[in-house]
Structure 1
């Protein structure tokens, strides 16, 4: 098809595509000889920001002519021209310009290896719409832009098989952590959506999924850093503890910053996006899960401050409980038993394991029982090799295992005792010997968990000699802080209720809230008078472990405007417990810990 093109000062003439390409090649070659007049005219045309109908037509013409001349482009001599082209965003143009730009980029990429990275960079840069572009225009042009981008990437990969190896790092570098918190949520979501859509082989898919997990974790930690100090004390505990220097203004809960709220919104949207991606995997879920699991073990497990990003693997497990769900539990179990790993890694693994087995509605009681039996066996063997007294620091891994056992049983004891096959098995476990020995885990583990466990165990008559356990002995312990260390791993239960609005709506169908648990002492057949005496005055109808947030969680999702106040309501320290532990009335029972809030993740204590 011919177009009008200025030939000389005499006027215009109709010329064809071959003439345009010839003219473009001549213009490019003239730069080497020092004759840059035509080149400068071309640059001027390519740099015009305001484009009318004629300018758009000329832009398309020039791009098409240059597409036929890519072998004549030199990186140094024509850098200004390349910059003028690459600085253009597909999002700002209609399909005719998009097609011309994509055509040029594709042909330039395969013309010489020295341009591949630069072409891949400009293509993946299109994953993120310009911040100045209105949202309605983004939605209108999204499919037009991104379908062309992915088609171009596929074309380049087919023509240059090694290009996908170079594409992965370019995509990951295109969204650095400091940028994620600054760009608009829709733009970030579109970028990540396109990361997950890349279908250029297993290497790229795995790299993208791992990169998304890293991105989620980074945002997760940014929420904590942006709100540092907000979670340190529960408001009601501050109010109750005026006699113990706990009411200092510096330790009062502070409002979640606007920055933290914005990051939480981004994280919430991205988590829902990856949930949808996992659902779309279908028969490939197991392979995808393996990548997810490897990434989790390398990053999330070791990031003790993580509050929300771990729910991605929880959701994946819920999609395939028999394979993914069991594999995750076994992997955590192996990590805890691995004597060559660092203590904090092992303690984090068993905290994840306990929280997962307690909260995952999709896991069968037999799977939970199998893991519990192996944990008990490990603790039993550990005691056999010890001739020591209480030492929270030396035996911290053992104490973390004991606390995991008790925590799991707080959630699962009634279902096991109600199973004709599991009840005799549970009674035969050497729990009493493990918990009542010289290492005294009941005096070291978190008191609220210890007391809830003993309460249920006594009501269920789990121990033959329950009189050995004096409830009052476990109200004074502060040793859990010692074995938990600076990270407070004694208080780390990572799968407690998720407060992110949209993510929670996806997770809750497969999640066990404490209010859903029927403890053994609620059993109509249990009327142990000692239990009633030991826990006189307790009207535990407030949600127990999830005390303080259950009404909000069960009735409605959190809005981000409520996010800060909701977090302030959550505490590992049960209501009235500080009063009891510092000399108050001991007949006021400690409750199971409410949601182990993001605050109690390591750095806040």
Structure 2
């Protein structure tokens, strides 16, 4: 055998000048691999040297590299994890982004064969492919150019094909892939292009051929990363210019960029411009929205939604005043109101009424429910009325069981339910009472006994919500003549502070207008802004009412201004002629009285999620 190996001691680079058959090249590589075990590493070292990338390879060097990779594929069974550590390292450190198609194809063929040859190589090969999800740092700027995008497609299509091939050859590979993807996921401090391209690959896995094996882990990991970005955005970063804005304030402000007037609630995204964390979160949420649209088109939205729903309940629901991540759920529901939209609302209500959950979870759930029912333009009045009835019934039963005086800290769950009830009615009382059948449901709800109970939620809940609700309730004749309520103090009382306070997570509206600019274009068509709401005290421009059958399930037009509707969808605000409405809008009831400095500091609870004081 020694003589045979001696005869094979051809200089490795001589293969560039001599025509060898494929079998001869494979034999030469096998010799290089086995000679190391016998103490002769010359050919082996030359082979390893061929694999180490140089800045620019000549045509001959490229041909030699392709030849060597193909030969190693034919001799893969000779590669030993311990004896050939340098070779394995050289193979797995290669970045596909640095080579042409011939080298990429030969490399991936080798990596696939290596993973299938020995279980010890599976994780290493999967890790190498996952690392190729992202290009080298110097390549990031090239992704903005057409040739960079073309290379991106060339690389990533091959990477995912190789992952699928390994999964077919090694059945346990998908299970081992998920933790590698999680471990390699860029952190919140990574550059935006890095984390964006990595998430694109995660979502490609979630929707690809391996989705049954790995799909259940990709979306939860993405939601967790978005939450991490979310909490990195401080409320001081999104402080409104005018701190006197109240929950229902509808002041109009000038847009300096185009001299048009937009609602103040839509201008606040400007304060996040230049915030790198917010921009990263914005991009990731848009990717998620687009993925959900793809799932809807392919008939997979229900499965993706179930994964997101579980992730929301596990993570987002209990996050300390999440600012934006929850809009992923909002958008998923908007794409499928009848299934996803109802499931989300029912989950929130069930989480609130279940005394198995801790108080903070229940209070967070009902805050989400109130905000969701108030803001979801895609929700039918019938659904809103049904869920509102369950909420009111729960509060009524609570009153029956607790015939005690006011105790904000002892009955926080109850007060959060009452506040949610009033908040939803502030947005929808008019649209509900305009439907005869739903009006009867509202009138028969035991709202008045709840508000007149010894627990007295009117003295504890947020004054701005209470005042707006009472004004609309009076206009809608919701209470009996003897049930008139007197509420004069708009300032936050000691009772209110005891209920909430600046550090409570229960007192916020999670679906207040989203301040992420790119996300807004997705959310806006499905979102109810306060300036769209027709309140119970608004003058009716049209006499008469429609029949119950005509309007009971009209979840698009009911309760919103007709001049803001275009083919069933709310038009973008820059298309609306707000100049003609300024007078009427400013004359409508604003929770924060204008020209009154005593309201400069709004209560510390349930400010819009655009305000740090709510959090």
TM-score, normalised via structure 1 length: 0.82
Query: Counterpart of 2:278?
Result: 264
SS at match of 2:300: helix
Query: Counterpart of 2:249?
Result: none
**Residues 502 and 613 of structure 2 are in contact (CA less than 8 Å); yes or no, is this contact kept in structure 1?**
no
Deviation at 1:211, TM superposition (A): 1.5
Deviation at 1:131, TM superposition (A): 2.0
**1:207-218 counterparts in 2 under 5 A?**
207-218=217-228
157, 167, 179: which one aligns with 1:169: 179
Q: Distance in 1 between matches of 2:600 and 2:614?
A: 24
Q: Distance in 1 between matches of 2:174 and 2:199?
A: 22
Structure 1 residue 411 corresponds to structure 2 residue 427: yes
Q: Distance in 2 between matches of 1:9 and 1:374?
A: 83
Q: Distance in 2 between matches of 1:10 and 1:331?
A: 68
Q: Distance in 2 between matches of 1:581 and 1:506?
A: 34
SS at match of 1:519: coil
> Measured at CA, do residues 143 and 601 of structure 1 come closer, stay the same or move farther in structure 2, by a change above 3 Å?
farther
99, 114, 117: which one aligns with 1:111: 117
Residues 135-168 of structure 1 show CA distances to partners (whole Å, capped at 9, x for unaligned) of 2243021221111111111111111111111111
Worse overlay, 198-207 or 401-410: 198-207
Worse overlay, 287-296 or 191-200: 191-200
Deviation at 1:70, TM superposition (A): 1.4
223, 240, 265: which one aligns with 2:233: 223
**Residues 395 and 417 of structure 2 are in contact (CA less than 8 Å); yes or no, is this contact kept in structure 1?**
yes
**Residues 198 and 204 of structure 1 are in contact (CA less than 8 Å); yes or no, is this contact kept in structure 2?**
no
Structure 1 residue 399 corresponds to structure 2 residue 415: yes
Structure 1 residue 102 corresponds to structure 2 residue 121: no
Q: Distance in 1 between matches of 2:606 and 2:321?
A: 18
Query: Counterpart of 1:536?
Result: none
**Residues 181 and 263 of structure 1 are in contact (CA less than 8 Å); yes or no, is this contact kept in structure 2?**
no
Structure 1 residue 139 corresponds to structure 2 residue 152: no
> Measured at CA, do residues 290 and 348 of structure 1 come closer, stay the same or move farther in structure 2, by a change above 3 Å?
same
Q: Distance in 2 between matches of 1:491 and 1:338?
A: 19
Deviation at 1:234, TM superposition (A): 5.9
Q: Distance in 1 between matches of 2:15 and 2:148?
A: 44
> Measured at CA, do residues 575 and 126 of structure 1 come closer, stay the same or move farther in structure 2, by a change above 3 Å?
farther
Q: Distance in 2 between matches of 1:433 and 1:554?
A: 41
Deviation at 1:12, TM superposition (A): 4.1
Residues 423-474 of structure 1 show CA distances to partners (whole Å, capped at 9, x for unaligned) of 1221121111101221111111111111110110011111113663112145
Structure 1 residue 295 corresponds to structure 2 residue 322: no
Structure 1 residue 599 corresponds to structure 2 residue 612: yes
Q: Distance in 2 between matches of 1:86 and 1:7?
A: 21
**Residues 435 and 442 of structure 1 are in contact (CA less than 8 Å); yes or no, is this contact kept in structure 2?**
yes
SS at match of 1:390: coil
> Measured at CA, do residues 96 and 11 of structure 1 come closer, stay the same or move farther in structure 2, by a change above 3 Å?
closer
Deviation at 1:237, TM superposition (A): 4.8
Query: Counterpart of 1:555?
Result: 574
Deviation at 1:40, TM superposition (A): 1.4
294, 299, 302: which one aligns with 1:280: 294
Worse overlay, 381-390 or 364-373: 381-390
**1:53-72 counterparts in 2 under 5 A?**
53-72=59-78
**Residues 7 and 13 of structure 1 are in contact (CA less than 8 Å); yes or no, is this contact kept in structure 2?**
no
How many residue pairs get aligned? The number is: 538
**1:436-451 counterparts in 2 under 5 A?**
436-451=452-467
**Residues 445 and 490 of structure 1 are in contact (CA less than 8 Å); yes or no, is this contact kept in structure 2?**
no
Q: Which runs of 5+ in 2 are unaligned?
A: 1-9, 246-267, 543-570, 577-589
Q: Distance in 2 between matches of 1:183 and 1:263?
A: 12
Q: Distance in 2 between matches of 1:598 and 1:158?
A: 52
Query: Counterpart of 2:341?
Result: 325
**Residues 358 and 407 of structure 1 are in contact (CA less than 8 Å); yes or no, is this contact kept in structure 2?**
yes
Deviation at 1:52, TM superposition (A): 1.7
> Measured at CA, do residues 101 and 480 of structure 1 come closer, stay the same or move farther in structure 2, by a change above 3 Å?
farther
**Residues 432 and 438 of structure 2 are in contact (CA less than 8 Å); yes or no, is this contact kept in structure 1?**
yes
Query: Counterpart of 1:539?
Result: none
**Residues 96 and 155 of structure 2 are in contact (CA less than 8 Å); yes or no, is this contact kept in structure 1?**
yes
Structure 1 residue 22 corresponds to structure 2 residue 41: no
**1:447-526 counterparts in 2 under 5 A?**
447-465=463-481, 468-485=484-501, 487-524=503-540
SS at match of 1:71: helix
Query: Counterpart of 1:549?
Result: none
44, 47, 59: which one aligns with 1:39: 44
Deviation at 1:19, TM superposition (A): 0.9
Deviation at 1:284, TM superposition (A): 1.9
**1:328-339 counterparts in 2 under 5 A?**
328-339=344-355
**Residues 409 and 453 of structure 1 are in contact (CA less than 8 Å); yes or no, is this contact kept in structure 2?**
yes
Q: Distance in 2 between matches of 1:11 and 1:109?
A: 29
Structure 1 residue 52 corresponds to structure 2 residue 35: no
**Alignment root-mean-square deviation, CA:** 3.3
**Residues 213 and 295 of structure 1 are in contact (CA less than 8 Å); yes or no, is this contact kept in structure 2?**
yes
Query: Counterpart of 1:78?
Result: 84
